[in-house]
Amino acid sequence: MRTQVVIVGSGPAGLLLGQLLGNAGIQSIIVERASRDYVLNRVRAGVLEEGTMALMRQSGAGGRMDAEGLLHNGFSLAFNGRSQRIDLAGLTGGKHVMVYGQTELTKDLMEKREADGLQSIFNAEAVELHDFDSDHPHVTYQKDGSGHRIDCDFIVGCDGGHGVSRASVPENAITTYERIYPFGWLGILADVPPASDELIYANHTRGFALCSMRSHTRSRYYVQCGLDEKAEAWTDDRFWDELRRRLPQEVADAVVTGPSFEKSIAPLRSFVAEPLRFGRLFLAGDSGHIVPPTGAKGLNLAASDVHYMFAGLSEHYLEKSSAGLDAYSTRALTRVWKAVRFSWSMTMLLHRFPEHGDFDRKIQEAELDYLSDSVAASTVMAENYVGLPL
């Protein structure tokens, strides 16, 4: 087989890039090691920046998002028994975010790709990337007991932190930066109405908590927990009790409890690889960087990478210019590091760290008070939360 672009990974980044390329008449094949059902059933975040929403609309797969997504004009910070609302729309000139589950976004993009007759290969085993430091890269894989090869012009790795793309880069060609946080998030999904119409991020002496949602009838809640915790050790009753302890009383009283249908613990990590280009191989999304979920930047950073990647490939094929591809890594990483900084700052502000003493806790309280009192400080937070310009 031959195509212009091989995309490794059928998550949101790979699907979004593939759809934008297909709309522009640029050929692509997506190679995915997992099954279609596995990809669709992965539970992930769901707060979209304005830039991500715009890319979904540009792809032609944004119809259901616009019909069913929940627009949010603000969120709240809870601390010392009270809540402070960050007015996103008022502080940013009318900008907002949208709550729309990543699973739903993936489904929309996958259905659009199939409807357009664009090729995806699932259950591809032993995927290997070859000769991306030359003018003739290719990808090989095994499927149904046979070996296959795809020749291409470029390879874009959208296969996450444990995928083959970044692992294929020579060790001396890449620099990585990492921060491992000493806790995780225990999260549940339950078919109960949310405690609030907007997200609530809570700083409490017992640890961080987050009240979120997927719809008007489905809620997503989190509590900070130790890395040695096991999700199965948390009964639903234990989780609901702990969540309510960490919330202001009026919010705790609004929490509707019910049986969970998904429960898991996610460790928190900041990670960036530099550069994001290696000859004719490019990294995008989690294959190049990972942020803690505080601030909801992971999916949105993947979308911004796709924005720069699509611009570069479009210039190459439609304008015969290499400028966009040459600038991809620098452009993407400039925005990545700003988002990494924001996610790190939100994580430091809202969580309780084992090594923190009274001084550190007082600094957190002072920062939260400052955000409450300062329009300038609240504006900085709002601008970062809705997403910096692409």
Give me the pLDDT at residue 36, please.
Answer: 93
**Fold (CATH) for 182-268+354-386:** D-Amino Acid Oxidase; Chain A, domain 2 (3.30.9)
Give me the pLDDT at residue 42, please.
Answer: 77
Cβ pair 209, 246 in contact under 8 A: yes
Give me the pLDDT at residue 46, please.
Answer: 85
Nearest CA to 381 out of 181, 45, 97, 92 is that of: 92
End-to-end Cα spacing for the chain: 34
> Is domain 5-72+96-177+269-347 in CATH 1.10.3720.10, yes or no?
no
Give me the pLDDT at residue 117, please.
Answer: 97
Beta-bridged to residue 267, according to DSSP, are: 184
Q: Catalytic residue numbers?
A: 72, 201, 293, 297, 385
Cβ pair 107, 114 in contact under 8 A: no
Q: Where are the domains of the chain?
A: 5-72+96-177+269-347, 182-268+354-386
CA 287 – CA 389 distance, rounded (Å): 22
pLDDT in single tens digits along all 390 residues of the chain: 999 999 999 999 999 999 999 999 999 999 999 999 999 887 677 899 999 999 999 999 999 999 999 999 999 999 999 999 999 999 999 999 999 999 999 999 999 999 999 999 999 999 999 999 999 999 999 999 999 999 999 999 999 999 999 999 999 999 999 999 999 999 999 999 999 999 999 999 999 999 999 999 999 999 999 999 999 999 999 999 999 999 999 999 999 999 999 999 999 999 999 999 999 999 999 999 999 999 899 999 999 999 999 999 999 999 999 999 999 999 999 999 999 999 999 999 999 999 999 999 999 999 999 999 999 999 999 999 999 999
